[in-house]
Amino acid sequence: MTAFIIFATLILGIFITSMFLDSKKAMEVFITNRFAKPGTKGYIMGADEGGREILFQLIIGARNSLTIAFSVTVLTTLAGLFIGTISGYYGGWVDAVVMRIVDFISILPRLLLIIAFLQVVPNYSMLAFIFIMSVFSWVGNARLYRGKALAESSMEYIKAAKTLGESDLRIMTRELLPNMSSIIIVNTTLSLAGNIGLETGLSYLGFGLPSSTPSLGTLIGYATNSDIIKNKVWVWLPASLLVLVLMLCVNYIGEALKRSSDAKQRLG
């Protein structure tokens, strides 16, 4: 519960506060205020190398990072759920064909492909970034949901629904998916933490959002030399701590949901 309260408070605070901030103004360069310390007039959390307020970049960057992570999580969950459910429900040659395609995609180096596509697309936007990340990140979800759908499809209630003449679409949406809800919720929650980390990592490496668009990864990426790491910690430490807190909260929430959905584990 504590993790959920902290996470919800952070999310609401970040998105509501960012509505009152101007991204372009926050990224304006004031070179005379380069690396202004926290508490300096006009700088609550200090300034980066370009004299830009770290607090504004932190709020806008967190909003961008969370928007990307939420979007990728939703898209990959929907894609994995659709493909996995179809494959597991029908089985047979449908399952064989779909899973061979999934096997082929899963052996590809996902991170390298994302980086390669980001390099190919000129001046990509946040939407393009989300799309490229999602294209190579749904495979694990498809495998997971396919296994659950395969197991559920052999249950008596599915056979009974087929015997009564219900359509496949109705069986999948009214019978199968509700019985997969626990694994969907848990996996979606845990995937969110992974996508926050993936976006942050790509931005840190310089393959995320453009430098003119702040994110948590770009803020951490400002720690480019020993002087900034040791003597100007206000530049990169707040973003690092925020990423840590967000990922811990999401993981705790996911684990709590997992325990509550598993009756045996809950009783244990």
Taking only the tens of pLDDT, the chain with its 268 residues reads: 788 888 889 889 888 988 888 877 777 788 888 888 888 887 888 888 888 888 888 999 889 888 998 999 999 999 999 999 999 888 889 989 998 998 888 888 888 888 888 778 777 788 888 888 888 888 888 999 999 898 888 888 888 888 888 888 888 888 888 888 888 888 888 888 888 888 888 888 878 777 777 888 888 888 878 888 888 888 888 988 998 898 888 888 888 877 776 655 455 4
CA distance 245 to 2: 12
CA 77 to chain centre: 11
pLDDT value, residue 124? 76
Q: How far apart are the first and last CA of the chain?
A: 20
pLDDT value, residue 263? 59
How long is the chain? 268
pLDDT value, residue 262? 65
Q: Give the DSSP letter of residue 228.
A: H
- Whether residue 245 contacts residue 10, with contact meaning beta carbons closer than 8 Å, is answered with yes
pLDDT value, residue 51? 82
> How many CB atoms within 10 Å of residue 250?
24
Alpha carbon distances (Å) from 31 to 36, 210, 212, 215, 224: 10, 20, 16, 21, 18
pLDDT value, residue 222? 82
Q: Is the entire prediction scored with pTM above 0.75?
A: yes
pLDDT value, residue 82? 93
pLDDT value, residue 268? 47
Alpha carbon distances (Å) from 207 to 24, 76, 138, 237: 21, 20, 20, 20
pLDDT value, residue 76? 92
Query: Greatest CA span in the chain, whole angstroms?
Result: 77
**SS3 at position 165:** coil
pLDDT value, residue 192? 86
The two structure tokens encoding residue 45: 């959390």
pLDDT value, residue 266? 53
> How many CB atoms within 10 Å of residue 203?
28
The two structure tokens encoding residue 266: 């809950």
Alpha carbon distances (Å) from 96 to 54, 144, 198: 52, 15, 30
pLDDT value, residue 48? 84
